[in-house]
Every structure is written in C-alpha cells, then in structure tokens.
Chain A
Amino acid sequence: MQDFLELAVSATASGCVYGLIALAYLLMIRPTGIINFAVGEWAMVAAFGGHLLLSRYEWLYWLGMATVVAFMLLVGWVTERVAVRPLVDKGAALLAPILALLGVLVITREIISVSFPPDPLPVPSAFGFGRLELGPVGGSYQSFFIIAVAALVFAGFWFFFEKTLWGKSFEAVSLNRRAAALMGINLSRVTALSFAGGAGVAGLGGLLVSPNVSAHYLMGVPLAIQGFTALVIGGVGRVEGALLGGLLLAFAEQFTARYAPIPSGYTQGVPLLLLMIFLLFRPTGLLKARA
C-alpha cells in the first residue's frame, strides 16, 4: 500500500507536468487552431535556463524560476511574431504555421545543442532533495512542489477563462475568429498572448521536471508527445481536461511500468499507444467542451 501511494504521488507529479505541456498546446490551439509541436523544445529551453541560472550561477530559486518563465514569455512572443504572424497575415493555410513551427523546433534544439555540452546537465529542485510525509502519503519535496505549482497554474487559468473579460474574449476567438474580430477583439494581440502564455507554461513544465531527468537537448520531443497525448485524452475543450489527461497518462505509464508483466522498454510505448487509440477512436477526448 505504501508502495502504491508512493507511486501515486510520483505519478501525480508527472501528470502535472504533462498537464502543463498539454495546457501550453491548448492555449495556442484554442484561439488559432495551430498545433505547436515546439512546446517540448520550449520546455527544454527553460530546463537549460534553469541549469544556467540556478546551477551554474547559483541564483535564488525563486528569482531564477521567475526569470526563466519571463524569458519564456518573450520566446513565445518572438516565435509568434517570426514564424506565425507573417503566415496568418498572408492568409496561408493552417498547415503552414504548423510546419513552420516544426522548423522552429529543430532550430531551437540545435541552438541549445550548440550552446551547451552534450551530456545531461543538472537542474536543482526548489527545496532540495528531501522527502515530505503527509500522513500515509509520501514523496519528494519536488513532487509536492510540482503538484502545488501546477494546481496554482491550472486554478489561475480556469479562473482566467471562466471569470475574466480577457478570458472570455479568448473563448470568443476560439469559437469564431471572424465574429470576434468584428466584435473588436484584437486578434493578433490574442494570438501573441496565447503563444507567450503557451511558452511560459511549457517552460514552467520543463523547469519543474528537469531536476528529475536533467536538462538534455533531446528531452523536447518525448515531452511534446506526452503533452499532446495528455491533451487528446483530456479533450481540447477545457482547461481541466489538460490536467486530467496528464494525470491519466502518467498513472497509466507508471503503473504499467511497475505492475504490468512486460519488459520495461515497452512502457515507452504507453503514451504512444494511448495517443494512437484516442486519436483514431476518440479524438475529442474525455471531457466535452462547455457548449
């Protein structure tokens, strides 16, 4: 039982990270329809940023984290300006920015690969490597930190979309771009913000997960796949869906790895299999969008 709870905490933390990546996708898909596969690379950039500021230059964690996230907001904004805006303005098909972002994915990865040594680099966790016991439930400080941060972020975005005017205008753009533009909503500002926000959230996810997995230039694509799987499972319609999808995926992964009688290498296949199954048979995900 202890073992089970231990695993549950670890899975929840992983699920939160996947959820954050899924949220990043969602923030960009909803107003623009653009699937930005480079979110994984954004997470990676933040991880390296964390290594640089927190490990190499030994900044205070809070300062380092805030700086990295702020930097990611900028990266997101720049990406939108360079790779997306010109295409949207030209009236190009939706596929064009998606493919352009694949180019950005590769460029980002190579820039990091050129700038840092090839081995995985350490990133410190927020509170060191201690353990926390909350009654029967126990896990590392970092796991609980991840869960807490993700809970805050998701609560914040839920509130943003449900209760604020800005959030509602986001929704309006998702539902009908032309109508929203006619209503006076500034489309390019919404798009720029959605990309900045997506990068910030993805970066946060990368920063949070990197103490466990180290910063490595190949960490982007697997995260991007896991995040997208989480999104598809949860459904694009609701913010909560991203978190739900992430949790389900993480639990499926970790419990299969632990308890299923198959060789450990196959567990990499779990997100892939789930992704294919959901895409092919239930592409709208588990949670329906609010009407």
Chain B
Amino acid sequence: MNYLRWIGAFLLLAGLPFFLGSYYNDVYRKMLLWVTLALGYNFLFGIGGQVSFSHFAFYGVGAYSIVIFLIQLQLPLPLAILLGIALCVLVALAVAIPSTRLEGFYLALATLALAQLFVVVLNEGGAVTGGTGGLANYRLPEVFGMRIVGPWYTAVIVILLLITFFILLRLDRSWFGRACRAVRDNPEAAAAMGVDVARTKVIAFTLTSALAGVAGMVYAFVDNTVNPPIFGLENAFLILFMVIVGGAGRHAGAVIGAVLLFLLPFVLSPLVGHHHVLVFGLLVLGAILAAPKGLIGFYDSIRKNF
C-alpha cells in the first residue's frame, strides 16, 4: 500500500477547506460525507449486489445515537462511539440474518420498511429523540482540551472518508471482495466454489451499515442538529441513484456519482428550483437504459477508443 498517496490525499482534501469561506466549507464537508456514504453503498449494492434502502437509516442511527449517548447520557466519547457502532451492528444483523433467503428486491423492501420504521420511531421518540423536531443545540465536547470546529472538523471528515475508502478498497481486493461479487453474479456457482453465501451477505450488509453509522456520528456535529426528515426516503433513493449514475461496482463511480448528484442541485436551482429530483430521475432512467456501467463506464469506453 502506498502510504504516501494516502497522506498526500489527506493533506490535499483536508487542506482545501482552510482556503474556503464558511459557506463553501459547509458544502464541501457535506459533499465529502455523501462520497463516504456512496462508497459504502457501492460496496453493498455495486459489489455485493444487495439493493438496500436502509443505508441512510443507519447513517441516522449513528447520528442520533452519538447525540443521545454523548450529550443526553453524558457518556465519554470513545464509549459513545463504540455503543453507537454496536447498535448499528445489532440492528443490521437483526435484518440481515433472516433476509439471507430473500431474493433481490424483496430484501430491498425489508430495508425500506426498516428505514421508514426508523423515521416513525424518531418521530414518536419523545424526549429521547426530540420527536418531530429532532435534537439541536448541542456541541461536540472538547477532545483533549481542544474544540474541533470549522476546517479542523472538515479534516475529521476527510479522515473518515479516507478510512472508509481504505477499508472498502482492502476488502474489495481480497477474497472477500471476490466472494461478494461471486454472490452477486451467481450465488449457486459461488456456493459450489465454497463461498458461504448467507454469511458473505450478512457480513457485507453489517459492515457497510456500521460504516454508514460511523459516518452518521461524524455528521451529527456538522450542523449540530439531527431531525427525522433528513433520514427519510428521499435520501435513501438519492444514494442509490448516485451509485447507479456514477457506475455501480466501481469506487470511482461512487465518487463521481456522489459529487455530481450532490452538486447538481446547486447548479440547477436557478433553472428548476426544487425540482432537481426530476433531473435525477431522468439521469437514473437514462443510465439504466443507455449507460448501465454509469458515467465511469462511459469514461472508460472513451479512454479505450482514443
């Protein structure tokens, strides 16, 4: 592993916000979070072949749990983080283990129901979750006597992104990544080759859900507010769309899809107002019909021909 490249990437990505004003810094950090989520979702969906609508809900579980454990229950930060991860893992296992026998989109619908249930629980959670208004007016406590805000917090997000990417890249290039692809492409043949299909699916689901949860924990301190509408179905669809348009199965595809679909509303809003979702729908339909390998596939085929 070329560690210099990782350090270089960190310096570049984390250094940039110091030159951006606070508005652009905010846009930038949210984009990085979306890229992180998209990378994880790409592993689950693009590499593992599991359609899921709960990825964003786990983001929410992470976000809410860190606020509840850290701020409301006043637990120390490392413990709060561990508990949040544990919670994500437990919920993921509870869904993934019985789902192993479900085919394709039926799993997706179970995850959809999970995601919606999560929002219902949030709305009805009373004082614990802050109900429909959510939780706000909290801050990340001092870490080692320092208050991490602004571009320094963006550096934390960059670290999250790079660690997530590192984990996924390593998994992808190992027997596990191949096993996930094999299960995606032909589960019967995969089993004949010795792959424990159920176990592989459960691990992929649980791992990516936990990663989404950790991203959520970092997200909680970006706006210092968490509320139910953020974790609704819109964003669950959006993450799927990002990966499809960018190119499912390729890390670069996830990055491109996330950056494009995240930034597109900013560019389009003078033209179509709030209806950028229409453009997303058209892009997704177009991608599936005409460019199933996504934008990254398109880029590859251009490169090949020149």
Contact = CB atoms under 8 A, between A and B. Distances in A.
Q: Do chains A and B touch in the complex (CB under 8 A)?
A: yes
Interface of A: 35, 83, 86-87, 92, 94-96, 98-100, 102-107, 109-111, 113-114, 221, 225, 228-229, 232, 263, 265-266, 268-269, 272-273, 275-276, 279-281, 283
B278 A106 contact: yes
Interface string B263-282: 00000000000010110111
Contacts of A114: 275, 278
Given A94-B104, A95-B104, A280-B98, A104 B285 contact: yes
Contacts of A232: 109
B278 A225 contact: no
B102 interface: yes
B282 A103 contact: yes
Interface stretch (B33-41, B117-125, B251-259): B117-125
A111 B281 CA distance: 11
A279 B123 contact: no
Contacts of B114: 272, 276
DSSP class of A's interface residues: helix, strand, loop or mixed?
A: helix
Contacts, number: 107
B120 to A, nearest CB: 4
A184 to B, nearest CB: 29
Contacts of A266: 120, 124
Contact of B117 (A87, A104, A272): A272
B238 to A, nearest CB: 10
Nearest to B116: A272
B267 to A, nearest CB: 17
A95 B275 contact: no
Interface in B101-117: 101-102, 104-106, 109-110, 112-114, 116-117
A102 B275 contact: no
A275 B284 contact: no
Contacts of A281: 98
Nearest to A104: B285
A279 B116 contact: no
B285 A83 contact: yes
Interface string B187-229: 0000000000000000000000000000000000000000000
B113 A276 contact: yes
Nearest to B51: A95
B116 A102 contact: no
B285 A107 contact: yes
22 contacts: A35-B109, A83-B289, A86-B289, A95-B104, A95-B105, A98-B51, A98-B105, A99-B51, A100-B288, A100-B289, A102-B284, A103-B282, A103-B288, A107-B285, A109-B277, A221-B233, A225-B112, A229-B113, A268-B116, A268-B120, A272-B117, A276-B110
A114 B288 CA distance: 24
Nearest to A94: B104
B85 interface: no
